[in-house]
Amino acid sequence: MLQCVIIDDEPLARGILEEFLQKSGITGAASFANARDALAHLQTHETDVLFLDIEMPEMNGIDFLKSLAQPPVTVFTTAYRGYAFEGYELGVIDFLLKPISYARFGHALDKVRDFLQLKEQNTNLEQNLTEEKPDFIFVKSGVQRVRLAFDDIAYIQGLKDYAIIHTGAGKVVIKGSVKAMLEIFPPARFLRVHKSFIVGIDKIRRIERNRIVWGNHQIPIGRNYREEVMQVITQ
């Protein structure tokens, strides 16, 4: 059972999230109308996931998240699409735009569950093999070693001290920052498009405004990376 915390100054918004959690089989979520009261709870209770509104009085969600030394997995909820970029830079796992549908909420909850489950596998890159095997890397999970072919990797999302590697067959969570991933994955095949995202260059098929669309996923292109992205795809 996930331990969830909801922070939103709007009672209706909190009620919707509570209802969605209950429909998903999760009960007992702690719900708060302001960041101050929520902070006291987070300091004394183990929390798996935080559903955090951005536009709130006293302290907004972005400043609140920045104030946490060890924040739980966080999903931003807001009525303003423009906050998505800053949210991803803070390491949030997903961004829900109000009004939130149950289907979209379920997708975010699946991402949270997948991340927490994969994180427990304690998977690590075997960096010593990358120079000898330029077409793939090995990851170690427990006593198992799994080969990841570069051709199969679509993109990598940074989430604080972890990286989520998305492949055509599923996801792998490993310990390490986006910066550390850049030192391992070959620059001729992978491109950093955002502070928190690396994309396989040959997987870039469609760009809509400031996003790369890959299947049902939308990967933001950061302002500081857009020029390089456009240069690469027009070569």
The model's pLDDT over 9-27, given as tens digits with 9 standing for 90+, comes to 999 999 999 999 999 999 9
Q: d(Cα 77, Cα 181) in Å, to the nearest integer?
A: 28
- Tell me: pLDDT of 37 over 70: yes
Pair 101, 170 in one domain: no
Same domain, 19 and 114: yes
Residues whose CB falls within 8 Å of the CB of residue 187, separated by 6 or more in sequence, listed in order: none
Q: Which residue has the higher pLDDT, 188 or 129?
A: 188
Q: What is the pLDDT of residue 74?
A: 95
Domain extent, residue 202, equals: 123-233
The CATH number for 67's domain is 3.40.50.2300
Share of the chain above pLDDT 90, in %: 52
Phi, psi torsion values for 133, nearest 5 degrees: -125, 85
Task: Specify the higher pLDDT residue, 225 or 183.
Answer: 225
Tens digit of each residue's pLDDT (9 = 90 or more) over 113-161 = 999 988 887 677 665 444 555 788 888 766 677 788 899 999 999 987 8
The residue-averaged pLDDT of 54-59 equals 89
21 and 56 inside one domain: yes
End position of a domain, from candidates 66, 96, 119: 119
- CA pair distance 152, 164, nearest whole angstrom: 14
Question: What is the tally of structural domains in the chain?
Answer: 2
Q: Are 10 and 108 in the same domain? A: yes
Model confidence at 103, pLDDT cuts 50, 70, 90, reads: very high
Helix 11-23, helix 102-119: angle, nearest 10: 60
Residue with tokens 């001729």: 188
What pTM did the predictor assign? 0.77
Question: What is the model's pLDDT at position 38?
Answer: 95
Residue where a domain stops, chosen among 93, 119, 145: 119
